[in-house]
Chains A and B, each alone.
Chain A
């Protein structure tokens, strides 16, 4: 990490400049992103919306350093992510990003505690400290007493809480949530959203969330809408902006 330079301290946490992403080539080429400019400040809660195929998922993958743009510049904390190797991006994710997926993506037949410990293992945290932090993270999502249950023994809402604990246990800068409430009923969904908003408000973690549900998008401060590979509109939410 030390080799990377921070160009300007006053810059946004995340800045996308004229990002394009093309899958395939020639006449079969699919232009998923056609020149996206986006800035996200540290501590923001941003909802990303848009119909299927609008490019929002591709954009999320690029934001989460899982994918690289075909052209354009992505700066994270001033670092040029585009110049990083596969392992370089993995290290970036390991240290700064937490991920929450629609399908939870917990390891089956593995206790909640061991699931939450997983990112800490890759960060080389010693076992004792790891258990402690994983327990704290589970307590923070309201799952105290469920540490030794496997995903199959937990409800969907509880599984997503475990996933959020796993994302938050490394104290990330950015929490990337890809339709986190997509597999949950609206009551559980609202509980998850409250949890995300409280982490955003109390711990200052930047949240970027993809959602189809306008009701869920209201929890965010800002909504970015994608259409045909471009940002169609951006709006500040009154409710989110107020908090």
Chain B
């Protein structure tokens, strides 16, 4: 009987194609809006996650002071790290892929008649490992260069472009403030970070070179480490915190005077932010589904009035109250489900186009498609019930007489 009723409902819908289409338009747009918003939102979340992963998602940064002050921010006066701290981490922490001490300083890079304000990063070859960064040309530093603090450098691609244009930088000497320094390698381009920084605008020199010849101190500003695959960054972080408290002789009742920042944590913070935005957009779009439901109720009420004689005829030939109720209810549900299907198709198409235009990945979320479809069918039940009950309760004599 249910299947028969669905067939009857489809017949009734087919009998008035244009009106049926207009009836479900609200649902189509509502479902399409929800699907588009959520799919694009998921794409944006995925994009953010991928961006941050390009920084190295299993990367941790240890800095003196409390909290993350951001680039250029003032750090509170806490004891600086020394190279011995870096060696201690290398020696005593289990599960590390690479440990890179870093210090950086703004400097003017000069080649011939060109100059460019950039930042000079002092570190070791491990820096490249931690950041998962490849060279596009040349070589990494040799052990000798690192030990003796030779005046050699590896250039970021932005610096190459600004100083050398189309010329080959390998082997050339550039000046970093007052230090003359030979180019041994060029970094592959990484592009903008998700914080909007140009990651390629930097010059890498051996840590000792920076300390002795540019900064004039033996401080290490921060330590970057990357955990090996399968090692929990949480565990690494706790180990490092314990080690550093010990080395810096911090009493158990005192707070840390250093900070370990886990990239995984930044990833989850940023992705949860975009998720909240996605949910919000989806919720706004869901309101239009509700409006679509009211549209269905409106048309179903008109339809019931219009088909009064039909209902009277059905009742006269022996349709039960619940059969008439089911007929109109199923008609509403079939209508709204059709709207849901068209909405899903439209929404996915719009999302695919939008993802292409916004250059975010297209992420298919089967959950939201199922939810949107079930929701649209539910809209049919809820908003179809009142008109259907009105049809079912008609007096057959009155209904037959209706003009």
Enumerate chain A interface residues (CB-CB to B < 8 A): 61, 64, 66-67, 86-87, 90-95, 97, 99, 101, 103, 105-110, 114, 118-119, 121-124, 166
Q: How far is the CA of A92 from the CA of B318 in the complex (A)?
A: 7
Give 1 or 0 for each of B300-336: 1 = CB within 8 Å of chain A CB: 0000000001101111111111010000000000000
Tell me the number of A-to-B contacts counted with CB atoms below 8 Å: 62
Cβ-defined contact, B316 with A93, below 8 A: yes
B250 at the interface (CB under 8 A from A): no
Known: A105-B309, A110-B11, A110-B15. A90 touches B400 (CB 8 A): no
Q: Which residues of B contact A99 (CB under 8 A)?
A: 316-317
Q: List 6 A-B contacts (CB under 8 A).
A: A87-B321, A94-B318, A105-B400, A108-B15, A118-B313, A124-B1
Q: Which residues of B contact A92 (CB under 8 A)?
A: 318
Cβ-defined contact, A101 with B319, below 8 A: no
Cβ-defined contact, A166 with B317, below 8 A: yes
Known: A105-B400, A109-B15. 5 other contacts (CB 8 A): A87-B321, A90-B321, A93-B316, A93-B318, A109-B16
Known: A110-B15, A114-B11. A101 touches B400 (CB 8 A): yes
Q: How far is the CA of A123 from the CA of B310 in the complex (A)?
A: 18
Q: Which residues of B contact A108 (CB under 8 A)?
A: 15
Cβ-defined contact, A105 with B318, below 8 A: no
Closest to A91 in B: B318
Q: How far is the CB of B326 from chain A (nearest CB, A)?
A: 12
B380 at the interface (CB under 8 A from A): no
Cβ-defined contact, A121 with B321, below 8 A: no
Interface size class of B (residues with CB under 8 A): 20 to 34
Known: A61-B397, A105-B400. A94 touches B1 (CB 8 A): no
Cβ-defined contact, B310 with A121, below 8 A: no
Known: A95-B318, A110-B11, A114-B11. A121 touches B397 (CB 8 A): no
Q: How far is the CB of B325 from chain A (nearest CB, A)?
A: 12
Q: How far is the CA of A105 from the CA of B16 in the complex (A)?
A: 19
Closest to A88 in B: B320
B129 at the interface (CB under 8 A from A): no
B363 at the interface (CB under 8 A from A): no
Q: Which residues of A contact B314 (CB under 8 A)?
A: 118, 122
Cβ-defined contact, A90 with B320, below 8 A: yes
Cβ-defined contact, A94 with B400, below 8 A: no
Cβ-defined contact, B11 with A119, below 8 A: no
Known: A107-B310, A121-B8. A66 touches B323 (CB 8 A): no
B168 at the interface (CB under 8 A from A): no
- Of A95, A101, A103, A121, which contacts B4 at CB under 8 A? A121
Q: How far is the CA of A118 from the CA of B4 in the complex (A)?
A: 11
Q: How far is the CB of A44 from chain B (nearest CB, A)?
A: 22
Q: How far is the CA of A87 from the CA of B313 in the complex (A)?
A: 15
B396 at the interface (CB under 8 A from A): yes
Cβ-defined contact, A105 with B11, below 8 A: no
Known: A107-B310, A110-B15. A122 touches B318 (CB 8 A): yes
Cβ-defined contact, B396 with A66, below 8 A: yes
Q: Which residues of A contact B312 (CB under 8 A)?
A: 105
